[in-house]
Amino acid sequence: MNIKIAFLLAAGAAGILASTAGPALAADVVAAQGPAGREIAFDRKKGNCLACHAIPGDPKAESPGNIAPPLVMIKQRYPDRAKLRAQIWDASTANPRTAMPPFGKHQILTESEIDKVVDYIQSL
């Protein structure tokens, strides 16, 4: 096989992998962990995370807002689970002027609901 064709084939395969692996992986993780954390995150009367955050890794995350950074690669960016949980429990600790509601401090979510949301967004 000539080297140029081999390169094109390899690039094509990598492109297919890159375009399918992300969402497929996230969907598998969500399926394995059950819908609890996702449901809480999506529920308008609970987490309502989609009002502000896009969740590009989850195909079910429709019509998101864009006033906050997209929730992507959370495990890489928050290797410390406690730090991630603290962001959700009370975002004003990291940023006193944040628009993000303090879900734990104001008891918008219960402690166990926060744990489930953390499980879910760590899978993204």
Residues that bind ligand HEC (CB under 6 A): 41, 47-49, 51-53, 67-69, 71, 77, 84, 87-88, 91, 94-95, 98-101, 103, 117, 121
Nearer to ligand HEC, 8 or 94 (CB): 94
DSSP letters along 27-61, please?
Answer: HHHHHHH-SHHHHHHH-TTTT-GGGT---TT-TT-
CB of 97 to ligand HEC, least distance (A): 7
Nearer to ligand HEC, 21 or 67 (CB): 67
C-alpha 62: how far from its chain's center? 13
Residue type, 68: A
CB of 28 to ligand HEC, least distance (A): 20
Nearer to ligand HEC, 77 or 105 (CB): 77
In the chain, what is the straight-line distance between the N-terminal and C-terminal CA atoms, in Å? 39
Q: Under 8 Å CB-to-CB from 17, ≥6 apart: which residues?
A: none
Nearer to ligand HEC, 15 or 34 (CB): 34
CB of 57 to ligand HEC, least distance (A): 13
Closest CA to 39 of 22, 61, 56, 23: 61
CB of 71 to ligand HEC, least distance (A): 6
Residue type, 48: N
